[in-house]
Amino acid sequence: MAKKTTKKKTTTKAAPKTKAKRAFKKPSLKLSSQQKLIFGSFLIILGALLFISFLSFVFTGKEDQSVLHNFPERSNEYKNWASQLGAWVSEFFITKGFGLPSFIFAGLLFLSGVYVTLSLNKSKLRSHWIWGTLIVVWLSILFGFFTHKYDFLGGTIGFEMNQFFQDYIGKIGTILLLVFGLITYLAIRFKITGETLVNSFKSAKSSIKEDLQSDKKATEPTPIFDNSLTEEAEAIKSALDIPLKKTEPTITKHSKPEPEVEKDSKVEMLKMEVTEKPKEETIETPELKIEVEAVEEEKSETDNLADKLVEDFGQFDPTLELGKFQFPPLDLLKKYDNEGISIDQDELEENKNKIVETLNNYKIGISSIKATIGPTVTLYEIVPDAGIRISKIKNLEDDIALSLAALGIRIIAPIPGKGTIGIEVPNKNSTIVSMRSVIASQKFQKSDMQLPIAFGKTISNETFVVDLAKMPHLLMAGATGQGKSVGLNAVLTSLLYKKHPAEVKFVLVDPKKVELTLFNKIERHYLAKLPDSEEAIITDNTKVINTLNSLCIEMDNRYEMLKNAFCRNIAEYNVKFKARKLNPNDGHAFLPYIVLVVDEFADLIMTAGKEVETPIARLAQLARAIGIHLIVATQRPSVNVITGIIKANFPARIAFRVTSKIDSRTILDGSGADQLIGRGDMLYTQGNELIRIQCAFVDTPEVEKITEFIGSQKAYPDAHLLPEYVGEEGGTNLDIDISDRDKLFREAAELIVTAQQGSASLLQRKLKLGYNRAGRIIDQLEAAGIVGNFEGSKARQVLIPDLVSLDQLLDNEQ
Ligand SMILES: Nc1ncnc2c1ncn2[C@@H]1O[C@H](COP(=O)(O)OP(=O)(O)OP(=O)(O)O)[C@@H](O)[C@H]1O
């Protein structure tokens, strides 16, 4: 019985609530799918009918005029293709209304039908209607300007409005008003700004220029010296009997009779196939633009606010502060005369014969041989006869080198992924791989990598571009004078050509004090530094330790930010931030990539040892996801410099020429670097196979020009500031004296009381402090009685309940 009564009670209580809810519920306008189809197709047909009526009105309107003034009757005869209704509606919209622009209404009706049928975004349709109506009005006024009566061009409204404007502001005023209307429309609708106009004008100008130049070239008669050259070449050809081509040197197979080798007829029989990669296309545009691709995210209920913000303000653009920043043009980089690969047929034949002979001497038969010509070395790929052991060929490395009388022979047995054995032989005349050619390559220009680096060209003459973000850290070694500094400059130049200052920051450590000084000029654009330091480029060892530790703090802070944003890596985080889904008031900010470059690492390890190794190892282990990438270069790749822990965390390595096999083994876990020929010849590995690359050459004057070009542009007020790090000697004593309190003490106290959470990491994050300083402030807060005692891993208890009590406490202290 008792149960029953309670049940009744609850139902009677709930009833009025739901009733009230029902009373306040908005009438739902949601249509079912079938209703949408019916309503949508009705609108589509209505739109089509309107269009037909309007179109017909243009031709038959005049004839129908007389009937239109009659009383509507069934017997009236109309010429309009939609008869009475068509004539009446057209008369209403066109003559009495907006004139010809009324066609837009027919289009809008049609579009609405499509939107309703397919359940497309309603807010877009609304915007189409608003803009469409404004365009109708504007066009109607424009057309009305040119007529002197009520006609179908601008309609009554267009004509009357024109009269109205002309009476008050005159004809010129009306024209100007129309122009203003057009500008406003373009600016709002298509987000056109003065800058975009200037930029598009510039690019149009340069493309016209290029077109003109190419036309000119195409139509120009062949210059006289060309003829003379051809004549000369013909003369030489007839003397030497070599088939010559006017264009770039190419190889025609067996263009020369095979030289006779008496010893072994097999040599004669072997035909060599020479592969020459087609030249890569290059794009030479004066200005480089970055394309920032928006990634579509799944929608959820909570996205509504972000969507609204994006709709109102567009995506967050981190480059906006330096919106006018211009990327360095390609012309700042030098072109070299000896850039193209020249093929010396005699050299090829000679080397082929020597290889075959040497191998024959050791009873190794070859069934085929193929050459691939690179900028500095040529790769001869051989397929040995069946039954030959690979190790036998590998052991002949020195003998082949001796018989070819060349340094830098490297045997790759077998070539990974192919059933062949490779013998790399340096070319007699090596060609320079200019930075310009690799930067201009399509591969680099069109790459959508996060931190693309154009290192140079591979043995098959392809531009080698890798993503530093994927490496994720790079270890570089090479004896002095073999191209390490040039390599570092190539890395930095690549990034400067592709990344906006808002997207990447460099931390440069240069104990030699001379290699990276040029980058000082771009301090306020691209460099990051400690808050209290004057120079952004770090040359002093104690500063290096502080900077590395500061980067560790930055890393921890970034991880915290990623955690709060539920993102796994910096790319995801930045996409979310750009989509305005992360609130800057919660401590979120757009995160630029940070590239730490350490030159002369050996020197640092020798002087600072563990103090440097520990933060480097920590960064290398953890920093990949939050966009901090390390490039460490050293002259001495000995095991006490490149320790196990460093090696384990640097899977991507580059070796320039080193002096011993042991050094090569330390850096590459195998030999090979000792057989390089220097001057930018390098081996790259990202864990598995070795790739031989000729590093792109960028000279100091070129770097100077680039940094000057960037440095002369508008910059940020200061270099990017890293979090503060106070060294161990900063002291951890309890500062009980009020006058010794930290400058940020009060701010910190307010923060802690507001958050009711006594943790040092909160201070670190919100006030951007180092761990030590935050810890010291917590100690001071404890001494002041604001937070409780240290409680192990738990946050300290906050003893002050609110800001008013805090103010009272602090005021009473004084
Ligand atoms: N990619 C390259 N192409 C052509 N020449 C190069 C290339 N790299 C380096 N060189 C030549 O080698 C010289 C020395 O290079 P670099 O200054 O980079 O050596 P390094 O390894 O940095 O030496 P150190 O460790 O003593 O600073 C350059 O001046 C240049 O003449």
User: DSSP assignment of 314-368, as one string?
Assistant: -S--TTGGGTT--PPPGGGSPP-TT-SPP--HHHHHHHHHHHHHHHHHTT--EEE
Interatomic CA distance for residues 80 and 87, integer angstroms: 6
Find, among 134, 640, 677, the residue nearest to 378 by Cα. 677
Ligand 1 center–CA 267 separation, angstroms: 39
From CA 677, how far away is CA 459, in angstroms rounded? 14
Amino acid symbol at 738: I
pLDDT at residue 466, as a whole number? 93
CA distance 378 to 355: 13
Mutate to test the pocket of ligand 1, among 437, 485, 654 (most ligand atoms within 8 A of CB): 485
Domain limits, CATH 1.10.10.10, in the chain = 728-813
In the CATH scheme, what is the homologous superfamily, with its name and number, of domain 453-721?
Answer: P-loop containing nucleotide triphosphate hydrolases (3.40.50.300)
Burial 101-138 (b: 16+ CB within 10 A, else e): bbbbbbebbbbbbebbbeeeeeeebeebeeebeeebbb
| Displacement of CA 740 from its chain's centroid (Å) | 47
Q: What is the pLDDT of residue 306?
A: 66
Provide CB contacts within 8 A for 569, sequence distance 6+.
Answer: 562, 625, 626, 627
What tokens does 652 get? 């991507």
- Point out which residues pair with 758 in neighbouring strands: 796
Ligand 1 binding pocket includes 493 (Cβ within 6 Å): no
CA–CA separation, 496 vs 630, rounded Å? 17
**Which residues of the chain are under the pLDDT cut of 50?**
1-28, 220-269, 729-733, 735
* pTM of the predicted protein model: 0.57
Q: What is the interface pTM, i.e. ipTM, of the complex?
A: 0.97
Which amino acid is located at 16 in the chain? P
Q: How far is the centre of ligand 1, averaged over its atoms, from the C-alpha of 602 (Å)?
A: 18
| Closest atom, ligand 1, to C-alpha of 482 | 21
Q: Is 119 in the pocket of ligand 1 (CB under 6 A)?
A: no
Q: What share of the chain is helix, strand, coil (3-state, %, to 5)?
A: 50, 10, 35
In sequence order, the β-bridge partners of residue 633 are 476
- Supply the residue whose CA is at minimum distance from atom 16 of ligand 1: 483
The number of residues in the chain equals: 814
Annotated binding site for ATP: 478-485
Per CATH, the number for 728-813 is 1.10.10.10
679 lines ligand 1 (CB under 6 A): yes
State which ligand 1 atom lies nearest to the alpha carbon of 512: 27
pLDDT at position 18, please?
40
CB of 376 sitting under 6 A from ligand 1:
no
Q: How many angstroms separate the CA atoms of 689 and 572, rounded?
A: 30
118's tokens: 């397919």
State residue 295's pLDDT score.
Answer: 62
Q: How far apart are CA 318 and CA 315, in angstroms?
A: 9
* Domain limits, CATH 3.40.50.300, in the chain: 453-721
Q: Could you tell me if 751 and 767 are in contact, meaning their C-beta atoms sit under 8 angstroms apart? A: yes
Pick from 398, 436, 599, 600: nearest CA to 507 = 599
> Measured in angstroms, how far is the CA atom of residue 335 from the centroid of ligand 1?
18
Report the number of secondary-structure helices (H) and strands (E) in the chain: 28, 16
What is the per-residue pLDDT for 392? 80
The CA 484 to ligand 1 mean position distance, Å, reads 6
Distance 699 CA to ligand 1 centre (A): 9
The whole-number pLDDT of residue 701 equals 92
Q: Are strands 474-477 and 593-598 parallel, antiparallel or unpaired?
A: unpaired
- pLDDT for 707: 93
Cα–Cα distance between 54 and 76 in angstroms, integer? 19
- HEC sequence for 732-790: CCCCCCHHHCCCCHHHHHHHHHHHCCECHHHHHHHHCCCHHHHHHHHHHHHHCCCECCC
Measured distance CA(551)–CA(725) in Å, rounded = 9
Atom 4, ligand 1: residue with shortest CA distance: 679
